[in-house]
Each structure stands twice: as structure tokens, then as C-alpha cells.
Structure 1
Amino acid sequence: MTQERNSTATAEHHAIAAASPGAPVEKDSAATAPVGTVTSTTARTTGLLVVLGILVVACVLSLTIGTRDIPLPTVWDSLWHFDGSADQLVVRSLRVPRTILGLLVGMAVGVSGALIQAMTRNPLADPGILGVNAGAAFFVALAVTLFGFTSIWSYVWFAFLGAVVVTVAVYALGSLGRGGTTPIRITLAGVAIGAVLSGVTTGLMLLDPATFDQLRSWNAGSTAGADMDVVWAVAGFVGAGLAVAVAIARPLNAIALGDDMARALGADIAGTRRLGVLAVTLLCGAATAAAGPIGFVGLMIPHVARWIVGPDQRWILPYAVFGAPALLLIADVVGRLVVRPAELQVGIVTAFVGAPVLIVLVRRKKVSGL
């Protein structure tokens, strides 16, 4: 018990320092348990560079591995010395857009997961579990089925609307009853709404065979078949969402300590949460419109980041920016290999990896601190 109290005290001291750098933090000589695997800025920066290196390797694998493997020199020539050969055409027209989209979608789901966990103070939250992805997917299915939209420029706005509606609905349902909002209530509300919307989305697709054929791969979560039009359609939204997330990193550190402590530190709680919802909407809406609902990445990566650097959002977000796309691209490459020459959608691969991780997190007595 003493060790646990010391660990909690250490975490609170570090969080207060991160939320309000001018506030004095007393040293607790008895509190020796670190809040993360690494605590120094140098070690955290080194870890971030390692994650960036893994991301670079994942990008190279994504460009070289597929139905047929393409040598790295050919990939290089396709980027800088294009001569129109078949292999170079495959790299330029298919694998480059797919890799870039994987980067954007990975960043979006990883950062949105970190934001949702920080805002709700729920270590089991992510866009998939809270139904945000399901809401965006449902509204996209409505746009395609009822209005015949086929261009991402048309239905991306429906994805944003679905993300907003479900985010508000989940938070409202989780706030009902005595005791107000709790992580368990929000999780249950998100799972329930997500299950209903996923079922209705599947029903809409089955009622319209053409829509089903068009959205079948997308609904499982896939970056296959993407072109640069899709990349350009979502790049601006993802960039804006990332910028908002970076802007609220420090206030999120204060909110993670509880509303009372956040007010004492001078944080604008309502404003921060509004900006957080805006960032999650932009990120989840764009990612879901482009690649379909991809789950568990936004759950796993923030936990790994907190295990490494502790609860400071100013470090968690950069780790999510690099770590989430690395995981998604590696999962995409695995999906190309396991049923070769066919492909397994990346959303299915991340589900196979993420489900055991979720079970482990639920069974742990103490999840990584928020």
C-alpha cells in the first residue's frame, strides 16, 4: 500500500509540473516509483527517434511487399527516375498512395485515442470502443445508400457528422443517473451505441448489393485501392486535427488530475474539451471516411506511450503520431502476407492483435496511469 501511494504521489507531482510548469513541485524522497519507463528528456527523445526509425522501416516494407515483392532499388527508381515499367507503375500508382494513407490514418486514430483517453480519464477508451468509428461509418453508409455519393469529397462530411453525433450521444448517456460520468458508463454506452450502429450499417449494405460491393472491404478497415485523390481529401483534416491536439496537450495534463485540480491550475476545462471533441471529430471522421473503421490502434499505442514516458500528453502525442502509423503499416504488410496472393484487411489484423491486448488491460488491477 505504501509503495502504491508513493507511486500515485509521484505521478501527481509530475502531472502538476507538466500542466503548470511554473508551479513548484516538492520532491518526495520516499516516492521512488517512476511514472514511466524513462523520465529524462534525453531518454524520451531517444525513444521517440527509435519509434520514428520503426516507422521508416514500416514505410519501406509497405512499398516493397505485396502480391509480388519489388526490390528496393526499383522502388527508389519509381520515385526519382520513373521510366514507366510495370513494377514502377505499381509502386507509384498503388503502393505510394496506400502507404501515405496508412501514415495519415495511423496518426489520426492514434492521436484521437490518446485524446479520448485523456478527456474521459478512461484508460480503456478509443474511437472504436466508444463507437465514434461506428458512428462515422454509419453516416457514410447512409450517404452512399440514400444519396448515392461515391466520392470521398462528398461523404467525408457525413463521417464528420457521425463522429460528432456519436461522441455527444455517448458522453450524454454516460452522464445519466447518479454519480455522473464514469469511465465504465462511458465505455458501456460507447460499446452499446457502436454495436447498434454497426448492425444497422451492415443491414443497409445488405439491402443494396451495389453499396455492399462498394463498401465491403472499406467496412472491414482497409487502405487497399487508395489513390492520391483520397489522400488529398483527408490530409488537410488530419493536419488540422493534429494541430488542435498539440495546442491542448498542456491543458489535458491538468484535466487528467480531475476537474477540481484543473480549475486550481487555471485550465479552461470546457474550452479544452470542446477543442478535444473538435480534434477527435476531424481525426476520426477523416480516417473513417478514407479507410473505414479501424479499431484497437487508438487503444494500444497511447498505453505503450504512457508506459514509456508517463502521463505527460506533450510526450504521449508525439509517440502516438509515430507509433500508431508504424503499427498500422506493419499490420497492413502482415495482411498482405498471411493469405497471399490475396489480402487481409488491416482492420481485421489490428483486431486480432488488439483483442488480446484489451483483455490483458481489463484484467490488470492497475492500468497505465491517466
Structure 2
Amino acid sequence: MFISFIAKQQAQRPNRRKPTRAARALTALIGGLILLVVTFILSLLYGAVHVHFSTVWQSFTNDQMLTANQQIIRNIRIPRAIGAALVGALLAASGAVMQGMTRNPLASPSLMGVSSGASLVMVCTLVFAPQASVLSLMLCSFVGAGIGALLVFGIALFSRGGVSPIKLVLAGMAVTAFLNACTSTIAIRFNVARDLSFWYAGGVSGVQWLHVQLLIPVAAIGIILALMISRSINALSLGEETAKGLGERTLLVKTIAILAVLLMTGAAVSAAGAVGFIGLIVPHITRFLIGGDYRWLLPCSAVFGAVLLVGADLGARMLNPPFETPIGVVTALIGVPFFLYLSRHAAGGMRR
């Protein structure tokens, strides 16, 4: 009797199960979007000139003659904030794809030769075609990103024992150092070092509506490609042999993944220069929050990357007003300690 009574009471209790991984990921995604809206609004309100929220609102609704502050909001701060969000999303998503594809927790566009390759071709374009259009610069950035990635993977592939995560890191560091040296040499030889400082420091102060119009379709294509293969990246992150055993066409998946990374990184570097650490730290933070399912990891990383770079751009404007701190300095202040921590614990692999 007593035992049956206890069993009945247990059955009538509500089942308090822990939230599923999908529910946790959805909560993180919604929270990230809310945080992105908040940082976006703060980015419009604060800077060298602080404006009231009513001024921001009127810059959207007023079709008559705009005041000076409304022109600043509409023509400078809005495209700048949108550009920062897009660049942050692209770098974070490309970093997540690279880490899953290579099974390397240290993989990111800035550490795998992709950003440095894009910067090298960009400075060559500034030297030999100074009148190149924004579209031409973006196309050149794609080519440079491809060259950097090809060099890194080529060196790792043809080394003794084949590709491994450690060899990719070493090859990436070597290629990045070599390409950066070439870039500096060309900049000094042709006296464009001052122009090049923008690409090294990184920043979205020069982003205009034209950049945004070009970034949006490229961002959409790159992220859609990454999401299309997200399930396959889940299998690939377990190992290539395991992925093949699960029926995945690994060569096709890697080809699409590399194409997505080149599109996203090339577009980001062409608009904001070589912004570092976003593609390294954001996927790991996201993985810690929601786990390693790339179907959720990719969109959440994109949102958190957008939040981080919009916030970093706001911080770059607020640290030493009315002067701007390079946004690469702000991301480095966040990223370097995280990178040191990650380097120490990389041997443990990526958390699933």
C-alpha cells in the first residue's frame, strides 16, 4: 500500500527535465539577437558626438532637410554599425567552419593565412591600381584569401605524415608571417605604409552604404553555404574516416566549406581590414554555451560575432574620444588572453 502510494505520487509529479540542447541553443540565439539590437542602438547614440534617441528616430523618419547630427546618423553611423555586424558575423561563422572542417581548435581566418593573403593582394591593388572600385577591391580580397588558404593547406598536405591539426597551425603561422612580411615590404617600397595601417589595425570607420550593399549578398551566400553543410561538418568534426563511414562525401563538403570561408573572409577583410581573434574566440564561447552541434553553432556564432564587433567598435570610439582606437586593438585585448588559455588547453580537443 505504502509503496504503491509513493509510486503514484512520483508519477503525478511534474517531469522537471533539463532543457534540451536545441532549446538551450534557441534561447542563446534569441538572447544574442536582443543583445545585438541593444548594442546596435548604443552604437548609433554614442561616439565622438553623443546624440539623443529622438535624433536617431528622426533620422529614420524625417524626409525633409536633415540636421548635421541626423546626417551623421544616417550616412555614417548606420552603415558603420551594419558593416560591423556583418563583418563580425562573417568572421565568426568562417572561424566556426574552419574549426569543424580541420578539427583544429586554433583555426581561424587570422591564423590560417586567409586574412594575411587577402591583405597582401589588397595592398598590391592599392599600389598598382589605386583607382580600383570597391567591387574590384572585394574581388581582389577573395583572390588573396584563396591564395593564403591554398598555401597553408598545400604545405600541410605535402608535409610528411599528411594533414594534422598541429601541422595546420604551424603552416598557418609560417604563411601568415611570410605574407605579412611581403605586405610590409611592398608597402614600404611603394610608400603606401600609411594606407596599409588601416588594414593591419582593422576598423569599420570607412564603411559606407556601398560596402553594405556589396556585403549583404556575399554574407547571405556564404552563411547559406555554411548552413547547408552544417550537418556534414558535425560528422567531419568527428574525423574524416568516421565521416566517410557515415556516408558523407567529404571532398565535396570540404570544397563547399572552403568556398564559404573564402567568400565570408574575403568580404570581411575588404570592408574592415585584418580584424583578428573574432573567428577564433566566438566559436569557442558559443560552443561552451550551446554545445558542438554545427546546425546551431553556426547561426549562434554569427550572431555573437556581430554583437562582439559592434560592441568593440563602440568601445574603440569611447576609449579615447574624440580620437578613435583601432578596433583591432580592442579585439586583441579580448582575444590574446583567450588565445593563450586556448593554446594551453588545445590538446584536450574541442568540446562536443
Whether the TM-score (by the shorter chain) exceeds 0.5 is yes
What corresponds to 2:284 in structure 1? 303
> How many residue pairs were aligned?
333
Contact 2:28–2:290 under 8 Å retained in 1: no
Note the C-alpha offset of 1:156: 1.2
Note the C-alpha offset of 1:38: 6.6
3-state SS, counterpart of residue 43 of structure 1: helix
Contact 1:125–1:299 under 8 Å retained in 2: yes
Contact 1:38–1:308 under 8 Å retained in 2: no
Contact 1:294–1:350 under 8 Å retained in 2: yes
Q: Which moves more between the two structures, 51-60 or 74-83? A: 74-83
What corresponds to 1:239 in structure 2? 220
Q: TM-score, normalised by structure 2?
A: 0.91
Contact 1:39–1:309 under 8 Å retained in 2: no
3-state SS, counterpart of residue 242 of structure 1: helix
What corresponds to 1:28 in structure 2? none
Aligned residue among 58, 65, 85 for 1:103:
85
Distance 2:108 2:19 in 1: 25
Q: 1:137 to 1:263 in 2, by over 3 A?
A: same
Paired amino acid for 2:287: R
What corresponds to 1:272 in structure 2? 253
Note the C-alpha offset of 1:335: 0.6
Q: 1:341 to 1:367 in 2, by over 3 A?
A: farther
Distance 1:182 1:367 in 2: 13
Cα shift readout 1:196-225 (whole Å, capped 9, x = no counterpart): 11122122222333x334333233111002
Q: 1:208 to 1:359 in 2, by over 3 A?
A: same
Q: Please tell me whether Structure 1 or Structure 2 has the larger radius of gyration of its CA atoms.
A: 2
Q: Which moves more between the two structures, 306-315 or 274-283? A: 306-315
Distance 2:44 2:215 in 1: 21
What corresponds to 1:17 in structure 2? none
3-state SS, counterpart of residue 158 of structure 2: coil
What corresponds to 1:76 in structure 2? 57
What corresponds to 1:10 in structure 2? none
Distance 1:229 1:177 in 2: 43
Distance 1:292 1:107 in 2: 15
Aligned alpha-carbon RMSD (Å) = 1.6
Q: How does 1:19-168 map to 2 (within 5 A)?
A: 39-82=20-63, 83-168=65-150
What corresponds to 2:188 in structure 1? 206
Distance 1:65 1:333 in 2: 7
| Identical-residue share of aligned pairs (%) | 34
Distance 1:340 1:95 in 2: 16
Paired amino acid for 2:297: I
Distance 1:39 1:156 in 2: 41
3-state SS, counterpart of residue 321 of structure 2: coil
Paired amino acid for 1:119: M
What corresponds to 2:153 in structure 1? 171
Contact 1:309–1:316 under 8 Å retained in 2: yes
